[in-house]
Structure 1
Amino acid sequence: MLMSAAAAWTTSARAQKPSMPVIGYLCPESPELFGSRLRAFHQGLREAGFVEGRNVAIEYEWAHGQYARLPALAAELVARNVDVVVAPGGAPVALAVKGTGTTSTIIFEMGGDPVQLGVVDSLPRPGANITGVSSLSVDVSPKRLELMHELLPAATTLAVAVNPTSPTANSQVQKLHSAAETLGVQLRVLNASKEEEFESVFSTVAGEAANGIVFTSDPYFAFRSRRLADLAIKYGLPAITQTRDFPIAGGLMSYGGDFVQSHRRAGIYAGRVLKGEKPADLPVQLVTKVELVINLKTAKLLGREFSASVISGADEVIE
């Protein structure tokens, strides 16, 4: 409803004010799943002096979780000659837009290292027409393993769920193996790139020696937090993901970057470019805040107990 109204208003506003700048917004998910992120983006736009329908129009393309469609959707958006293309929600979106070869400004938002992924040349000087915001969600995957190990100190094997289609999958698994060696535990790596594969991950872990699941940073996992939380409860397994959406939905805990701040800053950057600043002069911003959210009610349900230090160090405790 919100997005249909926004789309109608955008069309009307553009008809009345053809000189209004236009943002092309490419999203890997649906309006419903992306709602909190989109609100943060609009907040950043407002802080930069832009309100949709008043002095800026936004044209949306939604992949609805079908990430293979992103290159085609990016090409469609770029063909409309929008003033700025916003690529939020992870590396696959940024890479899809960059792959079009557009000369329009690209503002990305992701959890990985944009230099390592080939999105930008460097953080301080990202490139001629691209810049954006990156959080630390990908880099802190090993910390999720440490948190799970602290919760389950007697465990000799822990499971890791990986989306093999993710551009950051291999680097995350390598870092997790290094962390596991330090901790003295074995890893059981399980792949899932489709929602229908989620239950197999949980049922496999429930039937084997591993008794906790660590999810790598991946937008596909992040936007399906409720399903993952439901499965974790169904199979009685402690699990940790990158996003606070997971413990809020009933999962055990999360550790990752602050997505509200990263999307808000992407909105600010989009506004600054519309005001005339050049993307080459805007260094990639890093959201350095990492948040730990734990659900004590779920811990009790699973028969687990967080240490006092974890509870005191959590950014949010759900009781």
Structure 2
Amino acid sequence: MTMKKFFATCALLALYASSSLAAPKLSVGIVQLVEHPSLDEVRLAILAELKASGYGPDVAEIDYQNGQNSPSLISAICQKFVARGVNVIVPIATPAAQGAAAAAETIPVVFAAVSDPVAAGLVKNPARPDGNVTGVSDAIHPSNVLDLAEELTPGLKNYGIIYNTAEANSTNTVRKAEAEMSKRGIAFREAVVSTAAEVVPAVNSLMGKVDAIYVPDDNTTALAMPLLSQVAIEHKVPVYTAVDSLVHDGGLATSGINYTNLGRQAGQMIIRVLNGAKIADTPVEVLHEVSVVVNGETAAALGVDVSKYVK
């Protein structure tokens, strides 16, 4: 070997070693039920928290996949994560978390935006998970929203509730909301949907029969929230929601979950797990902070004074 070839070989070996050292050491698989503002907000906040804490692309490789609201696709995505041997799987929303838990027997699963992880079959004891699943819950407290509704639009006697009964997250929230409404002597009627295309007919079926609409943390309804809001505004019916992003899409107001804060909290938990924290020692967390969010344009269209909450 000539000296020229020798030095060329050394240079190549040095380059290879350098690239190997620079390669990501950790891998995170993120599967999101479907892309809409609420869940996008969670994912972006998780990524921002990881990066801000030193887990950018040079340290952690992020494989993000959209489940497209398909259980079979979510299952295939999670099986791919397992085959790759990612360090942690991060499912966003209840159906995605259920798919991840079914596919991953040993890989840590850290969920985000799951309203009731016990009812969803993800954990038995949130305080000390007994499997490989933990995460941050977006448990909804409908009483806060009803209090806000009474403040902004007093005298509401009848709510319409639009949601998909196949979603464990929204079903759980609806049961809580209906129990609270019954306690307050408020009537309610349901308009259930199975696809986003059914949302507008559902809201139209409620017009003239209800004083207001309540939308829980329902992913199906969220996909058509701008259209739902438009119909409600045309009929001067306020829409109260369980989460902030649905207000951004035309709802009047919420006193509920701030998904950016939830995503940050989930990001911090993911980091702890990446650093070796055991799932059994990582209790399920609930985002206790409640934020009042109003839509000024919707309020103006309805003639509702929200100046108290406009910054």
Could you say which TM-score interval applies, normalised by the shorter chain? 0.7 to 0.9
Tell me, yes or no, if structure 1 residue 43 matches structure 2 residue 60. no
Give the equivalent residue in structure 1 for 2:265: 265
CA displacement 1:263-300 (0-9 Å, x = unmatched)? 11222222222222222222222211011112344223
**C-alpha distance in structure 2 between counterparts of 1:130 and 1:63, whole Å:** 19
Give the equivalent residue in structure 2 for 1:83: 87
Tell me, yes or no, if structure 1 residue 274 matches structure 2 residue 274. yes
**C-alpha distance in structure 2 between counterparts of 1:32 and 1:136, whole Å:** 18
**C-alpha distance in structure 1 between counterparts of 2:258 and 2:298, whole Å:** 22
The equivalent position to 1:25 in structure 2, one of 30, 33, 43, is 30
Cα drift, residue 233 of structure 1: 2.6
Tell me, yes or no, if structure 1 residue 200 matches structure 2 residue 201. yes
Query: Whose helix proportion is higher, 1 or 2?
Result: 2
The equivalent position to 1:133 in structure 2, one of 136, 154, 160, is 136
- Contact 1:25 1:85 survives alignment (8 Å): yes
- Structure 2 residues without counterparts, runs of 5 or longer: 1-18
Letter in 2 for 1:96: G
- Contact 1:136 1:256 survives alignment (8 Å): no
Classify 1:227/1:243 alpha carbon distance in 2 versus 1 (closer, same or farther; 3 Å). farther
Give the equivalent residue in structure 2 for 1:302: 302
**C-alpha distance in structure 1 between counterparts of 2:278 and 2:229, whole Å:** 42
Give the equivalent residue in structure 2 for 1:248: 248
Structure 1 stretches of at least 4 aligned residues deviating more than 4 Å after TM superposition: 14-19, 31-35, 149-152
My pick for the range that moved more, 282-291 or 248-257, is: 248-257
**C-alpha distance in structure 2 between counterparts of 1:101 and 1:55, whole Å:** 23
Cα drift, residue 101 of structure 1: 4.1
> What is the root-mean-square deviation of aligned Cα atoms in Å?
2.8
**C-alpha distance in structure 2 between counterparts of 1:46 and 1:73, whole Å:** 24
Classify 1:220/1:263 alpha carbon distance in 2 versus 1 (closer, same or farther; 3 Å). farther
The equivalent position to 1:74 in structure 2, one of 54, 71, 78, is 78
Classify 1:50/1:254 alpha carbon distance in 2 versus 1 (closer, same or farther; 3 Å). same
- Secondary structure in structure 2 of the residue aligned to 1:168: helix
Cα drift, residue 197 of structure 1: 0.9
CA displacement 1:13-69 (0-9 Å, x = unmatched)? x988666211111111238875433321122213443102x1111112212344563
**C-alpha distance in structure 1 between counterparts of 2:55 and 2:45, whole Å:** 13
- Contact 1:87 1:94 survives alignment (8 Å): yes
Give the equivalent residue in structure 1 for 2:68: 64
Structure-to-structure mapping, 1:153-168, within 5 angstroms: 153-168=154-169
- Structure 1 residues without counterparts, runs of 5 or longer: 1-13
Letter in 2 for 1:199: V
- Contact 2:193 2:202 survives alignment (8 Å): yes
Give the equivalent residue in structure 1 for 2:144: 143
Give the equivalent residue in structure 1 for 2:184: 183
Classify 1:255/1:236 alpha carbon distance in 2 versus 1 (closer, same or farther; 3 Å). same
Give the equivalent residue in structure 2 for 1:220: 220
Tell me, yes or no, if structure 1 residue 123 matches structure 2 residue 126. yes
Letter in 1 for 2:29: G
Cα drift, residue 169 of structure 1: 4.1
- Secondary structure in structure 2 of the residue aligned to 1:108: strand
- Contact 1:22 1:83 survives alignment (8 Å): yes
Letter in 2 for 1:213: I
Count of residue correspondences = 294
Classify 1:78/1:16 alpha carbon distance in 2 versus 1 (closer, same or farther; 3 Å). same
**C-alpha distance in structure 2 between counterparts of 1:102 and 1:200, whole Å:** 41
Cα drift, residue 145 of structure 1: 3.6
Letter in 2 for 1:265: Q
- Contact 2:162 2:221 survives alignment (8 Å): no
**C-alpha distance in structure 2 between counterparts of 1:57 and 1:133, whole Å:** 22
- Secondary structure in structure 2 of the residue aligned to 1:230: helix
Classify 1:169/1:260 alpha carbon distance in 2 versus 1 (closer, same or farther; 3 Å). closer
**C-alpha distance in structure 2 between counterparts of 1:67 and 1:190, whole Å:** 23
Q: Which structure has the larger Rg over C-alpha atoms?
A: 2
Percent of paired sites with the same residue: 25
TM-score (norm 2): 0.83
